[in-house]
A = this chain, B = another copy of it.
Amino acid sequence: MKEYRYQQIAEVFEQQILTETLQTGNKLPSLRMICTENEVSLSTALKAYYTLESKFLIESRPKSGYFVSYAPKRFPGIPQISKPAQSVKSEDIDDLVKKVYHKYNTDHTALSLAIPAHELLPIAKLNKELILASRSLRDCGSHYEQVEGNERLRRQIARRSSAMGAQLRIQDIVITAGCVEAISYALRATTVRGDQLAVESPVSFGMLQLAQDLGLNIVELPTHPQTGIDIEALKHALETQHIKACLLISNFSNPLGSCMPDEHKREVVRLIEMHQVPLIENDVNGDVYFGALRPTCCKSYDQSGLVLWCGSVSKTLAPGYRVGWIAAGKFTDKVINMKRTHAIAGTSITQEVTAGFLETGRYEHHLRKLRQTLHTNSLQFARTIGDYFPEGTLASRPQGGSVLWVELPQNRSSLKLYEKAIQQNIIIAPGGMFTLQKQFDNCLRLNYGLTWTGKLENNLKLLGRLAMTIK
């Protein structure tokens, strides 16, 4: 996954703009100068500027050239590191989740979801691949796939893992029915009822419900909106509590959008190895990075086999395919046996379609477009929140994925905002869904994995105005 020349050039300017070396209103070098200085063609120079323009970092003024348009002050501030409350709330999150998550229809602007809208998915190309797969597959997919899953697909996942230094082999990978099933197997392979599980705070409600269904005790740990789980807090928990497993999202977490820097990933792996505690790594969003390169994963630093790396194409290609995977390290045999016993095998045909999509480079092609769309959207959301939400509203600034975390000024209830918004056909996910503690009442998660339209922009502005009126 090498970087193109135009990306490298854009990257340099982006950094200068973000660090305010180049400030709003500054003129950028002419295209001709870019060509000469970088020894590139005019089309490469243009592409670099288009990239910056699409991110709203620069703007072209007729007959004058390109200028820095980015105004950092219009973006909301970033929330502080979370401090998990000590008081467990009385209500069950299940009811809230059911109310918010499962009662929407297509008329709603679904800011509550955490998957890209169908307009962002390559439906027509997937369909072509489906027809190819039905021809290439023995018996058109009517027969059992092997327990471990489609070999072509596992080869592709192994191959892609090298790009982030994980160097997995085909036999290290087991295909699952989406990332959720991967995590379900991982939890069942590493814990028993009553065990303590360390997670981020706030944490995806799906993970909370899964852990609760398995009878695990959840230990929510302080987490930074940019860098993820707090290393010191994790260290302290491993030293003082009987943590039996950790479940973390390394890249572009749900709901914060945080991404652990490499040195944090390395340190987390060092800590869990020292304490011999398995780490279940949810890396379902890792492919949707906005930066130049695919971030690494904790699995990249795993020497002991204690990291169970989980991923899927649900957030990038086709949620309805139910194709995910796990590289479970020393727990691989256990996971294979569990899958054989509880499922026999996965669905043959959707694995083959996914394999074809990855093999032919169509996946990478699609990802490039998806990443650009989501990056632009994330900036649009940030700008609109900065402009239209109550003074003092904070928002995380994800560098990948499709969700961000908004913190309204204290005492503004996101549950009340939910009630007001749904009357306008807008659905949000209130902060209370993402913890078992009594907290995050003034927070919400927003999904920017939608097509940015005038309607969406107006709805987001409306949401901001509604937030002004609630207390």
Contact = CB atoms under 8 A, between A and B. Distances in A.
Q: Which of A126, A177, A341 has the most C-beta atoms of chain B within 10 angstroms of its own C-beta?
A: A341
Interface in A132-160: 134, 138-145, 147
7 contacts: A141-B321, A142-B320, A143-B318, A180-B341, A184-B342, A193-B193, A347-B347
Interface in A178-208: 178, 180-181, 184, 193, 206
Contacts of A213: 337-338, 341-342
- Nearest 8 A/B pairs, CB to CB: A320-B348, A142-B318, A347-B347, A127-B140, A143-B320, A184-B342, A322-B347, A118-B139
A466 interface: no
Nearest to A101: B340
Interface string A159-182: 000000000000000000110110
Nearest to A139: B118
Number of chain copies forming the complex: 2
A344 interface: yes
Contacts of A134: 127, 130-131
A375 to B, nearest CB: 22
B94 A121 contact: no
A349 interface: yes
Contacts of A139: 118, 121, 123, 320
B181 A343 contact: yes
A118 B131 contact: no
A210 interface: yes
A177 B118 contact: no
Interface of A: 94, 102, 115, 118, 121, 123, 126-127, 130-131, 134, 138-145, 147, 177-178, 180-181, 184, 193, 206, 209-210, 213, 317-322, 337-338, 340-350
A177 B115 CA distance: 22
B344 A180 contact: yes
A171 to B, nearest CB: 15
A346 B322 contact: yes
Given A118-B139, A178-B343, A337-B94, A130 B349 contact: yes
A180 B118 CA distance: 31
A341 B342 CA distance: 15
A126 B141 CA distance: 10
A342 B127 contact: no
Contacts of A206: 341, 344
Given A134-B130, A320-B348, A347-B350, A342 B144 contact: no
